Amino acid sequence: MDKTTQELIEEIRQLRTELRHMQEVVNSLVNIVMEMEEPEEYDALPSNQRFLDMYN
């Protein structure tokens, strides 16, 4: 099932368009996170040592 050159070019265009849309979504999410207030409300480390041990 070989694709023609034109089909491949069209698929590349479509993938580039989808990639641009995904970049816009990621940029929007990053902006939302960066604008969040009171980042101190989240603990940097879990308080339970067992939780830490789970990843070792």
Q: Mean pLDDT over residues 27-52, rounded?
A: 72
Helix, strand or coil, per DSSP, at residue 36: coil
Q: What average pLDDT does range 6-26 have in this prediction?
A: 96
Which band of pLDDT confidence, cut at 50, 70 and 90, is reported for residue 14? Answer: very high
- Across the range 18-43, mean pLDDT stands at 83
Q: Report domain extents, the chain.
A: 1-35
- Our measurement of the distance from residue 9's CA atom to the centroid of its chain's CA atoms, rounded to an integer in Å, reads 26
Q: Between the CA of residue 1 and those of 4, 7, 12, what are the distances in Å? A: 10, 12, 18
Which pTM was predicted? 0.56
**pLDDT higher than 70, residue 15:** yes
Confidence band of 54 (pLDDT split at 50, 70, 90): low
Find out whether 27 and 35 touch, Cβ atoms under 8 Å. Answer: no
